[in-house]
Amino acid sequence: MQAGGYYAPAPLPAPTRPGLFVCESRNYAYNVCSTGRVRRAQLVRQLSQAPCIEGSTWGVQRDGIWVDRGCEGEFEVLTR
């Protein structure tokens, strides 16, 4: 969607079910998807052709999941 001469980023997808989040590295760039405080997370389903490897192309930080180098996946996140 174009607004004022630039393309606005698309909003992050809503969880497909509680605790399940889609996070993607657009154009192979580093991205952080805010999920709230994370205790643990796991990749449930890889959606990209680029590999999703924990600690290399995806990981967990205090308040979200980070992805990089084209990884796009559906992640189950345990919070609190």
Distance CA 45, CA 56 (A): 17
**Cβ neighbours for 31, distance < 8 A, ≥ 6 positions apart:** 23, 24, 25, 66, 67, 68
At 11 the pLDDT is: 52
Distance CA 3, CA 72 (A): 26
Distance CA 68, CA 78 (A): 21
Report the pLDDT averaged over residues 47-62: 97
* Confidence grade of residue 80 (pLDDT, cut at 50, 70, 90): low
Burial-class residue 3 by CB neighbours within 10 Å (0-12, 13-18, 19+): exposed
pLDDT in tens, 2-51: 455 555 555 555 545 668 999 999 999 999 999 989 999 999 999 999 99
At 1 the pLDDT is: 42
Give the predicted TM-score (pTM) of the model.
0.76
